Amino acid sequence: MNKAYLLTGGNTGNRRAHLHQAIELINQFCGQVLKQSSLFETGAWGNTKQASFLNQALLVSTTLTPDELMLKLLFLEENMGRVRLEKFGPRIIDIDILLYNREVFHSELVTIPHAELANRRFALIPLIEIAPRAKHPVLKKSIQQLLKECSDELSVKKIS
């Protein structure tokens, strides 16, 4: 079995319900969600003139390869109503693969570890909660160390 760390997020509609629905769909189509972080309210990254996001990290046990998993996640996003109109724009759901086992993987579909993981507090903080000993397989640093070094100043507040 493979262990994938995912980050879910969204800033439109009933954000909490959308994250819950994403967990149900991931369980149904991708593997078993073993752990989930608290919910975190975060400022919008990239395009800051929009509503704040709810984000949650998940640990998923899966038999899928990184490409297979990414294809399923994109299908789930579309199934939930995500429409990609603008980069960093508002969205009902976003599901990213942050880490996959301890692997480094790159294809046309996905880069693992996530290319921006070390630069985003809204990903690092929930990830630390469910994977305190995880290490970035390229930078060879703990997630905790990456958070200490992260220059991102957006607000990340635990809400549950």
| Confidence tier at 29 by pLDDT (50, 70, 90) | very high
Give the H/E segment covering residue 54: strand 53-62
How confident is the model at residue 82, as a pLDDT? Answer: 77
Whether residue 96 lies in the annotated active site:
yes
Are 113 and 99 in contact by the 8 Å Cβ rule? The answer is yes
Selected catalytic residue, list 15, 67, 84, 94: 94
Q: Which helix (H) or strand (E) holds 150?
A: none
Residue 38 DSSP symbol:
P
Cα–Cα distance between 160 and 150 in angstroms, integer? 23
Exactly one of 15, 67, 82, 84 is catalytic; name it: 82
Radius of gyration of the chain (CA): 14
Q: Is residue 135 classed as helix, strand or coil in its secondary structure?
A: strand
pLDDT digits (tens, 9 = 90+) for 85-113: 667 668 889 999 999 999 999 999 999 99
Q: How many helices (H) and strands (E) does the chain have?
A: 4, 8
94 is catalytic: yes
Share of the chain above pLDDT 90, in %: 82
Average pLDDT, the chain: 93
Marked catalytic residue, from 15, 84, 96, 152: 96
pLDDT at residue 89, rounded to an integer: 66
Q: Tell me: pLDDT of 45 over 80.
A: no
Of 15, 16, 67, 91, which one is the catalytic site residue?
91
For 114-152, what is each residue's pLDDT tens digit?
A: 999 999 999 999 999 999 889 999 999 999 999 999 999
User: Is position 91 annotated as part of the catalytic site?
Assistant: yes
